[in-house]
Amino acid sequence: MSSHREAPEISKDPVADNTDVYAFVSPDRPDTVTIITNYIPLEGPAGGPNFFEFGDDVRYSIYIDNDGDAKPDVVYQFSFDSRLRNPNTFLYNTGPIGSLSDPNWNRRQFYSIKRRDRHGTKTIGSGLASPPCNIGPRSTPHYPTLAQAAVHHLPTGETVFAGQRNDGFFVDLGSIFDLGDLRPFQNLHLIPTPAAPGVDPLKDLNVHTIAIQVPIKHLTRDGSRPTNQASAKAVLGIWGGASRRRVKVIDAANDARGESGPWVQVSRLGNPLFNEVIVPLGKKDRWNGSNPVGDWAYAANVEHPELAKLLPVLYPGVFPNLAGLSAARADLVAILLTGIPPGIVPGFQNYTGKTLADMLRLNVAIPPAAHPKPLGILGGDLAGYPNGRRVGDDVVTIELRAIAGATYPLVKPSFTPDGAASLVTDGVSPGPGRYQSTFPYLGTPHSGFDTPSS
């Protein structure tokens, strides 16, 4: 998936596993940018009695680079604090939860936010309540109201939310990791079977979301709201990360814990699928612990992606031109590591300079699309991926087609992509209820009571 369980070590630490990052100009508040970072992959809605929550021992960060050096100029840090009302019951709640302060809710979670920029570090919010998980119609009978109450408007201008949501990412996970056996094209696979529709295993699962909506002028290098899309100051580099203390101590009774030492990054994410399918297995943990400014070390994996070599093998005769392509993939370098320079896509650029770094690159001078297209720029919608990433962008299809050669003519006009390059897809699209039109944009999480077991 985008970054669900994408590296050996982080797969064992779900509360710190950064699964998706989204960044887009808010469609209902176009003077702001919304940034969403998701954690805790593959949440089964009925996962009680200890329902999912953020880690009190994890520091969650959102990073913004506004001058193209792949180093953060603005950082938002989120820290969580869980509080237990009654330690003598096994129950998460002892009755219906009617509000965020309801005494029936036994285990609650609160958080604080710090902003760091060139002026220093400042706490901009504290004691902010997260909503409960969506347990069922008796425990959380009016869940959308509970979630809305957990949307906090800060005095500094930001709007924030941290809690459970519907996982917005959609992908046929089972087919992709079964030797890239894309169901709509499996009749053409090395091991052929009849073509079939895609299957989305995430459609009934939840995730934990940290979302923040920030005035654009609070993020740009000169404090302006850019209107010229050709201006370098209109482009922001954005990524998320999670860190833990270097040392953790647990006593013999398993009832006293402590952390000490410096914070160590254990997860990060910018572009979807970067660590998942670009970084080789032996380097994935190292990538999670590094910073974007050092991503020059992974340039060869972008220039010669393993999946581009596998597609002609897995689909014999379908990608003959891709099979003969040995040149470095400058198009993928532009999409994933530098941003797209001016002059390649008419009316668009999100170039941050020559520093190679995995970041979402968002041109804030491009307004939200009136009718968003899930294929983003590949579909002619300049407000979509890889211009940032919206919750409904079909990043799996976009990146499959890019790796298959559909974007290579942008930098090498003489190259003719295989016909399949513009058609390849996993065949999955999001179902109803996946998203909502207002902040935090990801839909209501699935209820443990109402979600089918199969």
DSSP annotation string for 386-400: TBSB-TT--HHHHHH
pLDDT tens column, 129-178:
999 999 999 999 999 999 999 999 999 999 999 999 999 999 999 999 99
Q: What is the pLDDT of residue 1?
A: 45
pLDDT tens column, 397-426:
999 999 999 999 999 999 999 999 999 999
Three-state SS at 61 = strand
Averaged pLDDT score across all residues of the chain: 95
Confidence tier at 454 by pLDDT (50, 70, 90): very low
**116 pairs with which residues across the strands?**
75, 121
Per-position DSSP letters for 305-341, written without gaps between them = -HHHHHHHHHSTTT-HHHHT--S--HHHHIIIII-PP
Q: What is the DSSP letter of 142?
A: T
The length of the chain, given as a count of residues: 454
pLDDT for residue 453 is more than 80: no
pLDDT tens column, 248-289:
887 777 766 778 889 999 999 999 989 988 999 999 999 999
SS3 content of the chain, % helix, strand, coil (to 5): 20, 25, 50
Q: What is the DSSP letter of 14?
A: G
**446: amino acid identity, one letter:** H
Judge whether 26 and 34 are in contact, CB under 8 Å.
Answer: yes
**99 pairs with which residues across the strands?**
none
Nearest to 67 by CA among 382, 269, 293: 293
pTM of the model: 0.96
pLDDT tens column, 48-106:
899 999 999 999 999 999 999 999 999 999 999 999 999 999 999 999 999 999 999 99
Judge whether 208 and 29 are in contact, CB under 8 Å.
Answer: no
